[in-house]
Structure 1
Amino acid sequence: MTPGTSPRSTSPAESVRIRNATRATMAQFFVNGATFATWGVLIPSVKERFALSDAVLSLAMLAVAGGALLTMGQSGKWIARVGSARALRQVGILYAATLLLIPLAPQFWMLVALLLVFGSAMAAFDVAMSVQAALVEGQRTRPIMSTLHAMFSIGGIAGSALGA
Protein backbone atom coordinates (compact mmCIF):
# COMPACT_ATOMS: atom_id res chain seq x y z
CA MET A 1 0.00 0.00 0.00
CA THR A 2 1.32 3.45 -0.89
CA PRO A 3 1.17 6.45 1.43
CA GLY A 4 -2.14 8.26 1.30
CA THR A 5 -4.12 5.22 0.23
CA SER A 6 -6.32 2.95 2.26
CA PRO A 7 -7.72 -0.46 1.57
CA ARG A 8 -11.31 -0.19 0.43
CA SER A 9 -13.97 -2.52 -0.63
CA THR A 10 -16.37 -0.92 -3.04
CA SER A 11 -19.57 -2.14 -4.55
CA PRO A 12 -19.69 -2.77 -8.30
CA ALA A 13 -21.84 0.34 -8.75
CA GLU A 14 -19.34 2.44 -6.78
CA SER A 15 -16.48 1.05 -8.86
CA VAL A 16 -18.28 2.06 -12.05
CA ARG A 17 -18.96 5.54 -10.66
CA ILE A 18 -15.29 6.00 -9.74
CA ARG A 19 -14.16 4.69 -13.12
CA ASN A 20 -16.53 7.10 -14.92
CA ALA A 21 -15.35 10.00 -12.78
CA THR A 22 -11.73 9.09 -13.56
CA ARG A 23 -12.43 8.98 -17.30
CA ALA A 24 -14.24 12.31 -17.18
CA THR A 25 -11.34 13.89 -15.33
CA MET A 26 -8.88 12.44 -17.85
CA ALA A 27 -11.00 13.99 -20.61
CA GLN A 28 -10.85 17.38 -18.87
CA PHE A 29 -7.06 17.26 -18.79
CA PHE A 30 -6.99 16.22 -22.45
CA VAL A 31 -9.32 19.05 -23.47
CA ASN A 32 -7.30 21.59 -21.48
CA GLY A 33 -4.09 20.50 -23.22
CA ALA A 34 -5.76 20.52 -26.64
CA THR A 35 -7.29 23.96 -26.09
CA PHE A 36 -4.05 25.52 -24.94
CA ALA A 37 -2.13 23.97 -27.85
CA THR A 38 -4.76 25.17 -30.32
CA TRP A 39 -4.24 28.71 -29.04
CA GLY A 40 -0.50 28.25 -29.64
CA VAL A 41 -1.16 27.21 -33.23
CA LEU A 42 -3.29 30.33 -33.77
CA ILE A 43 -0.54 32.75 -32.73
CA PRO A 44 1.20 33.06 -36.15
CA SER A 45 -2.10 33.72 -37.93
CA VAL A 46 -3.09 36.32 -35.33
CA LYS A 47 0.27 38.02 -35.78
CA GLU A 48 -0.14 38.08 -39.56
CA ARG A 49 -3.80 39.11 -39.53
CA PHE A 50 -3.14 42.21 -37.45
CA ALA A 51 0.38 42.80 -38.86
CA LEU A 52 1.82 42.79 -35.34
CA SER A 53 5.44 43.29 -34.49
CA ASP A 54 6.99 40.80 -32.09
CA ALA A 55 6.77 43.39 -29.31
CA VAL A 56 3.06 44.13 -29.85
CA LEU A 57 2.28 40.43 -30.18
CA SER A 58 4.05 39.85 -26.86
CA LEU A 59 1.93 42.51 -25.22
CA ALA A 60 -1.24 40.94 -26.63
CA MET A 61 -0.14 37.55 -25.33
CA LEU A 62 0.46 39.13 -21.95
CA ALA A 63 -3.32 39.55 -21.76
CA VAL A 64 -3.65 35.76 -21.43
CA ALA A 65 -1.36 35.76 -18.40
CA GLY A 66 -3.04 38.87 -17.04
CA GLY A 67 -6.46 37.25 -17.27
CA ALA A 68 -5.13 34.19 -15.49
CA LEU A 69 -3.62 36.28 -12.69
CA LEU A 70 -6.81 38.29 -12.24
CA THR A 71 -8.90 35.14 -11.96
CA MET A 72 -6.73 32.64 -10.13
CA GLY A 73 -7.26 34.05 -6.64
CA GLN A 74 -11.04 34.20 -6.87
CA SER A 75 -11.49 30.88 -8.68
CA GLY A 76 -11.09 28.79 -5.55
CA LYS A 77 -13.88 30.62 -3.73
CA TRP A 78 -16.24 30.30 -6.69
CA ILE A 79 -15.42 26.61 -7.20
CA ALA A 80 -15.95 25.90 -3.50
CA ARG A 81 -19.37 27.56 -3.75
CA VAL A 82 -20.65 25.88 -6.96
CA GLY A 83 -18.62 22.65 -6.96
CA SER A 84 -15.82 21.63 -9.28
CA ALA A 85 -17.99 19.64 -11.71
CA ARG A 86 -20.43 22.52 -12.21
CA ALA A 87 -17.60 25.04 -12.45
CA LEU A 88 -15.93 22.92 -15.13
CA ARG A 89 -19.12 22.84 -17.20
CA GLN A 90 -19.70 26.57 -16.89
CA VAL A 91 -16.16 27.82 -17.43
CA GLY A 92 -15.52 25.16 -20.08
CA ILE A 93 -18.12 26.81 -22.30
CA LEU A 94 -16.43 30.19 -21.88
CA TYR A 95 -12.98 28.67 -22.48
CA ALA A 96 -14.11 27.01 -25.72
CA ALA A 97 -16.09 30.03 -26.92
CA THR A 98 -13.20 32.45 -26.48
CA LEU A 99 -10.85 30.08 -28.31
CA LEU A 100 -13.30 30.00 -31.23
CA LEU A 101 -13.70 33.78 -31.21
CA ILE A 102 -9.98 34.68 -31.08
CA PRO A 103 -9.36 34.18 -34.82
CA LEU A 104 -12.56 36.08 -35.63
CA ALA A 105 -11.73 39.25 -33.68
CA PRO A 106 -12.30 42.13 -36.12
CA GLN A 107 -10.16 44.66 -34.26
CA PHE A 108 -6.99 44.45 -32.22
CA TRP A 109 -8.55 45.78 -29.02
CA MET A 110 -11.21 43.05 -29.28
CA LEU A 111 -8.46 40.47 -29.70
CA VAL A 112 -6.79 41.68 -26.51
CA ALA A 113 -10.12 41.61 -24.65
CA LEU A 114 -10.75 38.06 -25.87
CA LEU A 115 -7.25 37.00 -24.82
CA LEU A 116 -7.87 38.44 -21.36
CA VAL A 117 -11.11 36.44 -21.05
CA PHE A 118 -9.39 33.37 -22.53
CA GLY A 119 -6.69 33.59 -19.85
CA SER A 120 -9.31 33.98 -17.13
CA ALA A 121 -11.31 31.01 -18.38
CA MET A 122 -8.17 28.92 -18.74
CA ALA A 123 -7.12 29.66 -15.16
CA ALA A 124 -10.55 28.94 -13.70
CA PHE A 125 -10.79 25.72 -15.74
CA ASP A 126 -7.35 24.68 -14.56
CA VAL A 127 -8.18 25.28 -10.90
CA ALA A 128 -11.54 23.48 -11.14
CA MET A 129 -9.91 20.61 -13.04
CA SER A 130 -7.25 20.26 -10.35
CA VAL A 131 -9.87 20.25 -7.59
CA GLN A 132 -11.83 17.61 -9.48
CA ALA A 133 -8.66 15.56 -9.96
CA ALA A 134 -7.90 15.65 -6.23
CA LEU A 135 -11.45 14.57 -5.39
CA VAL A 136 -11.34 11.68 -7.85
CA GLU A 137 -7.89 10.60 -6.74
CA GLY A 138 -9.10 10.59 -3.13
CA GLN A 139 -11.77 8.03 -4.05
CA ARG A 140 -9.30 5.67 -5.69
CA THR A 141 -6.87 3.24 -4.16
CA ARG A 142 -4.03 4.26 -6.51
CA PRO A 143 -2.73 7.70 -7.48
CA ILE A 144 -3.61 9.02 -10.95
CA MET A 145 -2.09 12.52 -11.09
CA SER A 146 0.74 11.47 -13.41
CA THR A 147 -1.81 9.86 -15.75
CA LEU A 148 -3.92 13.01 -15.72
CA HIS A 149 -0.93 15.18 -16.56
CA ALA A 150 -0.02 12.77 -19.35
CA MET A 151 -3.53 13.33 -20.73
CA PHE A 152 -2.83 17.08 -20.76
CA SER A 153 0.30 16.40 -22.84
CA ILE A 154 -1.55 14.05 -25.18
CA GLY A 155 -4.21 16.72 -25.57
CA GLY A 156 -1.49 19.21 -26.39
CA ILE A 157 -0.17 16.92 -29.09
CA ALA A 158 -3.68 16.44 -30.49
CA GLY A 159 -4.42 20.18 -30.44
CA SER A 160 -1.15 20.95 -32.19
CA ALA A 161 -1.71 18.25 -34.81
CA LEU A 162 -5.28 19.41 -35.43
CA GLY A 163 -4.10 23.00 -35.83
CA ALA A 164 -1.32 22.01 -38.19
Structure 2
Amino acid sequence: MKSLRLILSNPRYFAPAWVFASLNIWFGTWAIYIPTVKENLGIDKSQLGIAIFFLSLGVFTVFPVAARIINWLGVGRATWYGVLLCSFTALLPLVATNYYSLMGSLFLFGASNGLTDISMNTLVTELEKEDKQNFMSAAHGFFSLGGVLAGLGSFLIVYIGNPALHMAIVVFAVLLINYLLHKNYFHITAAPVEKEPFSLKLFKPLLVIGIVSFMVMGGEGAIVDWSGLFLKEISLAPEALWGTGFLAFSVTMTTGRFLGDSISQKIGSVKIVALGSLVATAGYMAVLSTYTFLAIIGFGLIGLGFSVIIPELFRIGGNVKGIESSQGVAFIAGTGYAGFLAAPPILGFLADRYSLMTSFMVLLACVIIVLLATRILRNSRG
Protein backbone atom coordinates (compact mmCIF):
# COMPACT_ATOMS: atom_id res chain seq x y z
CA MET A 1 0.00 0.00 0.00
CA LYS A 2 3.07 2.27 0.12
CA SER A 3 2.66 3.23 -3.54
CA LEU A 4 -1.04 3.99 -2.99
CA ARG A 5 -0.14 6.32 -0.10
CA LEU A 6 2.51 7.89 -2.34
CA ILE A 7 -0.05 8.58 -5.07
CA LEU A 8 -2.66 9.95 -2.68
CA SER A 9 -0.19 12.20 -0.86
CA ASN A 10 1.74 13.68 -3.80
CA PRO A 11 0.19 15.34 -6.90
CA ARG A 12 3.31 14.45 -8.92
CA TYR A 13 2.16 10.82 -8.76
CA PHE A 14 -1.59 11.31 -8.42
CA ALA A 15 -1.70 13.28 -11.70
CA PRO A 16 -0.60 10.39 -13.98
CA ALA A 17 -2.56 7.88 -11.87
CA TRP A 18 -5.70 9.92 -12.52
CA VAL A 19 -5.03 9.67 -16.28
CA PHE A 20 -5.15 5.87 -15.86
CA ALA A 21 -8.49 6.15 -14.07
CA SER A 22 -9.78 8.62 -16.66
CA LEU A 23 -9.12 6.26 -19.56
CA ASN A 24 -11.32 3.56 -18.07
CA ILE A 25 -14.00 6.03 -16.96
CA TRP A 26 -14.41 7.22 -20.57
CA PHE A 27 -14.33 3.71 -21.99
CA GLY A 28 -16.59 2.26 -19.30
CA THR A 29 -19.19 4.99 -19.78
CA TRP A 30 -19.25 4.30 -23.53
CA ALA A 31 -19.61 0.55 -22.84
CA ILE A 32 -22.68 1.15 -20.67
CA TYR A 33 -24.50 2.66 -23.65
CA ILE A 34 -23.54 0.09 -26.32
CA PRO A 35 -27.03 -1.53 -26.25
CA THR A 36 -28.64 1.92 -26.45
CA VAL A 37 -26.50 2.96 -29.43
CA LYS A 38 -27.35 -0.33 -31.18
CA GLU A 39 -31.06 0.27 -30.66
CA ASN A 40 -31.01 3.96 -31.61
CA LEU A 41 -29.16 3.34 -34.89
CA GLY A 42 -31.18 0.22 -35.73
CA ILE A 43 -28.14 -1.98 -36.37
CA ASP A 44 -27.82 -5.73 -35.78
CA LYS A 45 -25.21 -7.59 -33.72
CA SER A 46 -22.89 -8.26 -36.64
CA GLN A 47 -22.89 -4.58 -37.63
CA LEU A 48 -22.22 -3.63 -34.02
CA GLY A 49 -19.31 -6.09 -33.97
CA ILE A 50 -17.81 -4.47 -37.08
CA ALA A 51 -18.24 -1.00 -35.56
CA ILE A 52 -16.46 -2.09 -32.37
CA PHE A 53 -13.73 -3.60 -34.54
CA PHE A 54 -13.06 -0.06 -35.80
CA LEU A 55 -12.37 0.98 -32.20
CA SER A 56 -9.70 -1.76 -32.01
CA LEU A 57 -8.42 -0.75 -35.45
CA GLY A 58 -7.92 2.81 -34.18
CA VAL A 59 -5.87 1.51 -31.26
CA PHE A 60 -3.68 -0.65 -33.49
CA THR A 61 -3.21 2.13 -36.05
CA VAL A 62 -1.61 4.43 -33.49
CA PHE A 63 0.63 1.83 -31.82
CA PRO A 64 3.35 1.79 -34.54
CA VAL A 65 3.68 5.59 -34.54
CA ALA A 66 3.02 6.30 -30.84
CA ALA A 67 6.68 6.18 -29.80
CA ARG A 68 7.65 8.77 -32.44
CA ILE A 69 4.81 11.07 -31.40
CA ILE A 70 5.74 10.76 -27.72
CA ASN A 71 9.43 11.44 -28.37
CA TRP A 72 8.58 14.38 -30.63
CA LEU A 73 6.15 16.04 -28.21
CA GLY A 74 7.70 14.90 -24.95
CA VAL A 75 5.98 12.27 -22.82
CA GLY A 76 4.28 14.84 -20.55
CA ARG A 77 2.82 16.83 -23.42
CA ALA A 78 1.80 13.65 -25.26
CA THR A 79 -0.09 12.44 -22.18
CA TRP A 80 -1.95 15.76 -21.81
CA TYR A 81 -2.79 15.96 -25.51
CA GLY A 82 -4.01 12.35 -25.31
CA VAL A 83 -6.32 13.38 -22.46
CA LEU A 84 -7.69 16.23 -24.57
CA LEU A 85 -8.23 13.98 -27.58
CA CYS A 86 -10.00 11.33 -25.49
CA SER A 87 -12.22 13.98 -23.91
CA PHE A 88 -13.39 15.06 -27.37
CA THR A 89 -13.59 11.68 -29.10
CA ALA A 90 -15.39 9.98 -26.15
CA LEU A 91 -18.46 12.05 -27.04
CA LEU A 92 -18.50 11.17 -30.74
CA PRO A 93 -19.92 7.60 -30.63
CA LEU A 94 -22.85 8.79 -28.52
CA VAL A 95 -23.80 11.55 -30.96
CA ALA A 96 -23.31 9.43 -34.10
CA THR A 97 -26.30 9.81 -36.39
CA ASN A 98 -25.74 6.74 -38.57
CA TYR A 99 -23.77 3.50 -38.81
CA TYR A 100 -20.87 4.97 -40.77
CA SER A 101 -20.37 7.93 -38.45
CA LEU A 102 -20.37 5.42 -35.55
CA MET A 103 -17.53 3.48 -37.19
CA GLY A 104 -15.56 6.66 -37.82
CA SER A 105 -16.08 7.99 -34.31
CA LEU A 106 -15.06 4.68 -32.72
CA PHE A 107 -11.89 4.63 -34.85
CA LEU A 108 -10.95 8.11 -33.56
CA PHE A 109 -11.84 7.16 -29.98
CA GLY A 110 -9.68 4.03 -30.27
CA ALA A 111 -6.72 5.96 -31.69
CA SER A 112 -6.97 8.52 -28.86
CA ASN A 113 -7.14 5.73 -26.31
CA GLY A 114 -4.08 4.03 -27.82
CA LEU A 115 -1.96 7.20 -27.73
CA THR A 116 -3.01 8.00 -24.16
CA ASP A 117 -2.41 4.43 -23.00
CA ILE A 118 1.17 4.33 -24.27
CA SER A 119 1.91 7.90 -23.17
CA MET A 120 0.71 7.40 -19.59
CA ASN A 121 2.62 4.11 -19.17
CA THR A 122 5.77 5.73 -20.56
CA LEU A 123 5.24 8.70 -18.24
CA VAL A 124 5.07 6.47 -15.17
CA THR A 125 8.15 4.57 -16.37
CA GLU A 126 10.09 7.83 -16.65
CA LEU A 127 8.92 9.07 -13.24
CA GLU A 128 9.97 5.78 -11.67
CA LYS A 129 13.43 6.10 -13.23
CA GLU A 130 13.79 9.74 -12.20
CA ASP A 131 12.46 9.49 -8.64
CA LYS A 132 13.46 5.89 -7.82
CA GLN A 133 9.86 5.27 -6.71
CA ASN A 134 7.74 2.31 -7.78
CA PHE A 135 4.08 3.07 -8.47
CA MET A 136 3.33 1.47 -11.86
CA SER A 137 1.21 -1.30 -10.34
CA ALA A 138 -0.82 1.17 -8.23
CA ALA A 139 -1.33 3.37 -11.32
CA HIS A 140 -2.85 0.33 -13.06
CA GLY A 141 -4.96 -0.10 -9.93
CA PHE A 142 -6.39 3.35 -10.66
CA PHE A 143 -7.26 2.10 -14.16
CA SER A 144 -9.29 -0.69 -12.55
CA LEU A 145 -10.80 1.85 -10.17
CA GLY A 146 -11.87 3.93 -13.18
CA GLY A 147 -13.93 0.99 -14.40
CA VAL A 148 -15.60 0.76 -11.00
CA LEU A 149 -16.43 4.49 -11.11
CA ALA A 150 -17.86 4.13 -14.63
CA GLY A 151 -19.98 1.22 -13.42
CA LEU A 152 -21.32 3.27 -10.52
CA GLY A 153 -22.18 5.97 -13.05
CA SER A 154 -24.67 3.56 -14.62
CA PHE A 155 -27.02 4.39 -11.74
CA LEU A 156 -27.35 7.88 -13.25
CA ILE A 157 -28.93 6.53 -16.44
CA VAL A 158 -32.48 6.70 -15.12
CA TYR A 159 -32.00 10.27 -13.91
CA ILE A 160 -30.17 11.71 -16.94
CA GLY A 161 -31.96 9.74 -19.66
CA ASN A 162 -29.57 10.98 -22.39
CA PRO A 163 -26.35 9.10 -23.30
CA ALA A 164 -24.61 12.13 -24.85
CA LEU A 165 -25.46 14.33 -21.86
CA HIS A 166 -24.24 11.63 -19.45
CA MET A 167 -20.92 11.37 -21.32
CA ALA A 168 -20.63 15.18 -21.49
CA ILE A 169 -20.99 15.41 -17.71
CA VAL A 170 -18.40 12.65 -17.24
CA VAL A 171 -16.00 14.28 -19.72
CA PHE A 172 -16.33 17.69 -18.07
CA ALA A 173 -15.69 16.34 -14.55
CA VAL A 174 -12.78 14.10 -15.59
CA LEU A 175 -11.19 16.76 -17.80
CA LEU A 176 -11.46 19.41 -15.09
CA ILE A 177 -9.51 17.25 -12.65
CA ASN A 178 -6.93 16.44 -15.34
CA TYR A 179 -6.58 20.15 -16.16
CA LEU A 180 -5.88 20.99 -12.52
CA LEU A 181 -3.27 18.22 -12.31
CA HIS A 182 -1.52 18.21 -15.69
CA LYS A 183 1.03 20.88 -14.70
CA ASN A 184 2.66 18.21 -12.53
CA TYR A 185 3.79 16.17 -15.55
CA PHE A 186 3.40 18.41 -18.64
CA HIS A 187 7.11 19.37 -18.68
CA ILE A 188 8.48 15.83 -18.37
CA THR A 189 10.49 14.34 -21.23
CA ALA A 190 12.00 10.89 -21.58
CA ALA A 191 15.59 10.47 -20.46
CA PRO A 192 17.94 10.03 -23.46
CA VAL A 193 18.81 6.43 -24.19
CA GLU A 194 22.04 5.27 -25.76
CA LYS A 195 20.63 3.32 -28.69
CA GLU A 196 22.28 0.15 -29.86
CA PRO A 197 22.14 -1.36 -33.34
CA PHE A 198 19.42 -3.99 -33.78
CA SER A 199 20.42 -7.49 -32.74
CA LEU A 200 18.60 -10.65 -31.72
CA LYS A 201 20.30 -10.44 -28.33
CA LEU A 202 18.83 -6.96 -27.81
CA PHE A 203 15.37 -7.90 -29.10
CA LYS A 204 15.12 -11.26 -27.31
CA PRO A 205 13.98 -9.97 -23.88
CA LEU A 206 11.44 -7.63 -25.49
CA LEU A 207 10.07 -10.49 -27.62
CA VAL A 208 9.71 -12.72 -24.54
CA ILE A 209 7.92 -9.92 -22.65
CA GLY A 210 5.62 -9.44 -25.64
CA ILE A 211 4.70 -13.14 -25.68
CA VAL A 212 4.00 -13.03 -21.93
CA SER A 213 1.90 -9.89 -22.40
CA PHE A 214 -0.10 -11.56 -25.20
CA MET A 215 -0.87 -14.60 -23.04
CA VAL A 216 -1.71 -12.73 -19.83
CA MET A 217 -3.91 -10.13 -21.52
CA GLY A 218 -5.48 -12.97 -23.51
CA GLY A 219 -6.30 -14.64 -20.20
CA GLU A 220 -7.86 -11.42 -18.94
CA GLY A 221 -10.05 -11.18 -22.02
CA ALA A 222 -11.08 -14.82 -21.62
CA ILE A 223 -12.11 -14.35 -17.96
CA VAL A 224 -14.17 -11.27 -18.89
CA ASP A 225 -16.04 -13.16 -21.62
CA TRP A 226 -16.17 -16.77 -20.40
CA SER A 227 -16.16 -16.90 -16.56
CA GLY A 228 -19.96 -16.56 -16.30
CA LEU A 229 -20.55 -19.25 -18.92
CA PHE A 230 -18.09 -21.58 -17.17
CA LEU A 231 -19.95 -21.24 -13.87
CA LYS A 232 -23.27 -21.74 -15.63
CA GLU A 233 -22.47 -24.69 -17.92
CA ILE A 234 -19.52 -26.47 -16.28
CA SER A 235 -19.94 -25.74 -12.56
CA LEU A 236 -23.75 -25.76 -12.84
CA ALA A 237 -23.89 -22.80 -10.46
CA PRO A 238 -27.25 -21.16 -9.66
CA GLU A 239 -28.07 -18.06 -11.70
CA ALA A 240 -27.34 -15.74 -8.77
CA LEU A 241 -23.67 -16.85 -8.85
CA TRP A 242 -22.97 -16.60 -12.59
CA GLY A 243 -21.39 -13.15 -12.24
CA THR A 244 -19.39 -13.89 -9.09
CA GLY A 245 -16.38 -15.28 -10.96
CA PHE A 246 -15.83 -12.02 -12.81
CA LEU A 247 -16.57 -10.05 -9.62
CA ALA A 248 -13.95 -12.02 -7.66
CA PHE A 249 -11.49 -11.57 -10.53
CA SER A 250 -12.08 -7.79 -10.65
CA VAL A 251 -11.84 -7.24 -6.88
CA THR A 252 -8.59 -9.18 -6.48
CA MET A 253 -7.19 -7.56 -9.64
CA THR A 254 -7.75 -4.07 -8.20
CA THR A 255 -6.49 -5.01 -4.72
CA GLY A 256 -3.39 -6.77 -6.06
CA ARG A 257 -2.38 -3.79 -8.14
CA PHE A 258 -2.40 -1.53 -5.09
CA LEU A 259 -0.14 -4.02 -3.27
CA GLY A 260 2.14 -4.96 -6.16
CA ASP A 261 4.70 -2.14 -6.07
CA SER A 262 5.86 -2.86 -2.51
CA ILE A 263 6.37 -6.54 -3.32
CA SER A 264 8.14 -5.69 -6.59
CA GLN A 265 10.53 -3.33 -4.79
CA LYS A 266 11.50 -6.16 -2.43
CA ILE A 267 11.85 -9.10 -4.82
CA GLY A 268 12.22 -7.51 -8.28
CA SER A 269 10.13 -7.39 -11.44
CA VAL A 270 10.94 -10.83 -12.87
CA LYS A 271 10.31 -12.64 -9.57
CA ILE A 272 6.95 -10.95 -9.08
CA VAL A 273 5.88 -12.01 -12.61
CA ALA A 274 6.89 -15.58 -11.67
CA LEU A 275 4.98 -15.30 -8.37
CA GLY A 276 1.92 -13.91 -10.16
CA SER A 277 1.96 -16.76 -12.68
CA LEU A 278 2.22 -19.31 -9.84
CA VAL A 279 -0.82 -17.80 -8.11
CA ALA A 280 -2.73 -17.75 -11.42
CA THR A 281 -1.77 -21.40 -12.03
CA ALA A 282 -3.27 -22.35 -8.66
CA GLY A 283 -6.35 -20.33 -9.64
CA TYR A 284 -6.83 -22.17 -12.93
CA MET A 285 -6.46 -25.52 -11.17
CA ALA A 286 -9.18 -24.48 -8.71
CA VAL A 287 -11.42 -23.40 -11.60
CA LEU A 288 -10.83 -26.70 -13.43
CA SER A 289 -11.97 -28.61 -10.33
CA THR A 290 -15.45 -27.44 -11.53
CA TYR A 291 -16.78 -27.14 -7.95
CA THR A 292 -18.68 -23.84 -7.85
CA PHE A 293 -17.11 -22.25 -4.79
CA LEU A 294 -13.63 -23.52 -5.61
CA ALA A 295 -14.06 -22.11 -9.13
CA ILE A 296 -15.09 -18.70 -7.76
CA ILE A 297 -12.04 -18.72 -5.45
CA GLY A 298 -9.98 -19.76 -8.48
CA PHE A 299 -11.16 -16.78 -10.52
CA GLY A 300 -10.17 -14.57 -7.60
CA LEU A 301 -6.69 -16.14 -7.49
CA ILE A 302 -6.30 -15.64 -11.26
CA GLY A 303 -7.16 -11.94 -10.83
CA LEU A 304 -4.66 -11.65 -7.97
CA GLY A 305 -1.92 -13.34 -10.00
CA PHE A 306 -2.57 -11.36 -13.18
CA SER A 307 -2.86 -8.06 -11.28
CA VAL A 308 0.88 -7.70 -10.80
CA ILE A 309 2.07 -9.10 -14.13
CA ILE A 310 1.00 -6.49 -16.72
CA PRO A 311 2.27 -3.45 -14.71
CA GLU A 312 5.61 -5.22 -14.27
CA LEU A 313 5.81 -5.99 -18.00
CA PHE A 314 5.41 -2.27 -18.76
CA ARG A 315 8.10 -1.54 -16.19
CA ILE A 316 10.49 -4.12 -17.67
CA GLY A 317 9.66 -3.11 -21.26
CA GLY A 318 10.33 0.55 -20.48
CA ASN A 319 13.77 -0.33 -19.14
CA VAL A 320 15.14 -2.67 -21.81
CA LYS A 321 18.75 -1.70 -22.50
CA GLY A 322 19.29 0.13 -25.78
CA ILE A 323 15.57 0.71 -26.47
CA GLU A 324 13.64 3.93 -25.78
CA SER A 325 11.04 3.54 -23.04
CA SER A 326 8.21 4.66 -25.37
CA GLN A 327 9.14 1.97 -27.91
CA GLY A 328 9.26 -0.73 -25.25
CA VAL A 329 5.92 0.33 -23.78
CA ALA A 330 4.29 0.53 -27.24
CA PHE A 331 5.47 -3.00 -28.08
CA ILE A 332 4.11 -4.44 -24.81
CA ALA A 333 0.82 -2.57 -25.21
CA GLY A 334 0.42 -3.80 -28.80
CA THR A 335 1.10 -7.47 -28.08
CA GLY A 336 -1.05 -7.38 -24.92
CA TYR A 337 -3.99 -5.75 -26.63
CA ALA A 338 -3.72 -8.23 -29.50
CA GLY A 339 -3.99 -11.05 -26.97
CA PHE A 340 -6.95 -9.42 -25.23
CA LEU A 341 -8.83 -9.24 -28.54
CA ALA A 342 -7.71 -12.53 -30.07
CA ALA A 343 -8.02 -14.93 -27.15
CA PRO A 344 -11.82 -14.86 -26.57
CA PRO A 345 -12.79 -15.83 -30.14
CA ILE A 346 -10.02 -18.46 -30.34
CA LEU A 347 -11.12 -19.98 -27.05
CA GLY A 348 -14.73 -19.74 -28.20
CA PHE A 349 -13.82 -21.83 -31.25
CA LEU A 350 -12.11 -24.43 -29.02
CA ALA A 351 -15.12 -24.47 -26.69
CA ASP A 352 -17.47 -25.00 -29.63
CA ARG A 353 -15.29 -27.68 -31.23
CA TYR A 354 -14.29 -29.51 -28.05
CA SER A 355 -15.49 -28.07 -24.70
CA LEU A 356 -15.18 -25.06 -22.41
CA MET A 357 -12.99 -27.23 -20.15
CA THR A 358 -10.55 -27.57 -23.06
CA SER A 359 -10.41 -23.78 -23.43
CA PHE A 360 -9.55 -23.33 -19.76
CA MET A 361 -6.94 -26.08 -19.94
CA VAL A 362 -5.31 -24.10 -22.76
CA LEU A 363 -5.35 -21.01 -20.51
CA LEU A 364 -3.67 -23.05 -17.76
CA ALA A 365 -1.00 -24.15 -20.25
CA CYS A 366 -0.43 -20.51 -21.25
CA VAL A 367 0.16 -19.36 -17.68
CA ILE A 368 2.62 -22.24 -17.17
CA ILE A 369 4.46 -21.02 -20.29
CA VAL A 370 4.54 -17.54 -18.69
CA LEU A 371 6.15 -19.07 -15.60
CA LEU A 372 8.79 -20.79 -17.76
CA ALA A 373 9.39 -17.54 -19.68
CA THR A 374 10.44 -15.79 -16.47
CA ARG A 375 13.53 -18.01 -16.42
CA ILE A 376 14.53 -16.63 -19.84
CA LEU A 377 13.88 -13.09 -18.61
CA ARG A 378 15.97 -13.68 -15.50
CA ASN A 379 18.89 -14.94 -17.58
CA SER A 380 18.64 -12.10 -20.13
CA ARG A 381 18.60 -9.47 -17.36
CA GLY A 382 21.30 -11.15 -15.36
Aligned match for 1:77, one of 56, 68, 72: 68
> Structure 2 vs 1, CA of residues 157 and 107 (structure 1 numbering), >3 Å: closer, same or farther?
same
- Report the counterpart of residue 155 of structure 1 in structure 2: 146
Aligned match for 2:99, one of 89, 105, 108: 108
**Preserved contact between residue 86 and residue 112 of structure 2 (Cα < 8 Å):** yes
Shift of 1:140: 3.3
**Preserved contact between residue 57 and residue 110 of structure 2 (Cα < 8 Å):** yes
Identical residues among aligned pairs (%) = 24
Alpha-carbon distance between aligned partners in 2 of 1:119 and 1:107, rounded to the nearest angstrom: 18
By relative contact order (CA 8 Å, sep 6+), the higher-ranking structure is 1
Alpha-carbon distance between aligned partners in 1 of 2:113 and 2:89, rounded to the nearest angstrom: 10
Alpha-carbon distance between aligned partners in 1 of 2:154 and 2:119, rounded to the nearest angstrom: 26
The residue type equivalent to 1:77 in the other structure is: R
The residue type equivalent to 1:155 in the other structure is: G
Note if 1:66 corresponds to 2:44. Answer: no
Aligned match for 1:48, one of 35, 39, 43: 39
Shift of 1:146: 1.3
Aligned match for 2:30, one of 39, 44, 51: 39
**Preserved contact between residue 51 and residue 103 of structure 2 (Cα < 8 Å):** yes
Kindly report the root-mean-square deviation, in angstroms, between the aligned alpha carbons of the 2 structures: 1.7
Shift of 1:20: 2.4
- Report the counterpart of residue 24 of structure 1 in structure 2: 15
Shift of 1:130: 0.6
Note if 1:88 corresponds to 2:48. Answer: no
Report the TM-score when normalising by structure 2.
0.37
Alpha-carbon distance between aligned partners in 1 of 2:97 and 2:63, rounded to the nearest angstrom: 28
Shift of 1:50: 1.1
**Preserved contact between residue 16 and residue 124 of structure 2 (Cα < 8 Å):** yes
Map 1:120-159 onto structure 2 (within 5 A).
120-159=111-150
Shift of 1:143: 1.5
Alpha-carbon distance between aligned partners in 2 of 1:138 and 1:65, rounded to the nearest angstrom: 31
Shift of 1:64: 0.5
Shift of 1:141: 3.6
**Preserved contact between residue 20 and residue 139 of structure 2 (Cα < 8 Å):** yes
Worse-matched range after superposition: 136-145 or 49-58: 136-145
Alpha-carbon distance between aligned partners in 2 of 1:163 and 1:76, rounded to the nearest angstrom: 35
**Partner SS, residue 143 of structure 1:** coil
Alpha-carbon distance between aligned partners in 2 of 1:52 and 1:78, rounded to the nearest angstrom: 36
Q: Mind listing any 5+ residue stretches in structure 2 that lack a counterpart?
A: 1-5, 156-382
Alpha-carbon distance between aligned partners in 2 of 1:163 and 1:73, rounded to the nearest angstrom: 34
Shift of 1:32: 1.1
Q: Could you list the structure 1 runs, at least 4 aligned residues long, displaced by more than 4 angstroms after superposition.
A: none
- Report the counterpart of residue 6 of structure 1 in structure 2: none
Shift of 1:163: 3.2
The residue type equivalent to 1:130 in the other structure is: N
Shift of 1:33: 1.6
Alpha-carbon distance between aligned partners in 2 of 1:139 and 1:25, rounded to the nearest angstrom: 15
1:39-87, Cα deviation, whole Å (9 max, x unpaired): 2112111111112211110000000000111111101100011011111
Shift of 1:99: 1.0
The residue type equivalent to 2:68 in the other structure is: K
- How many residue pairs match? The answer is 148
Shift of 1:109: 0.8
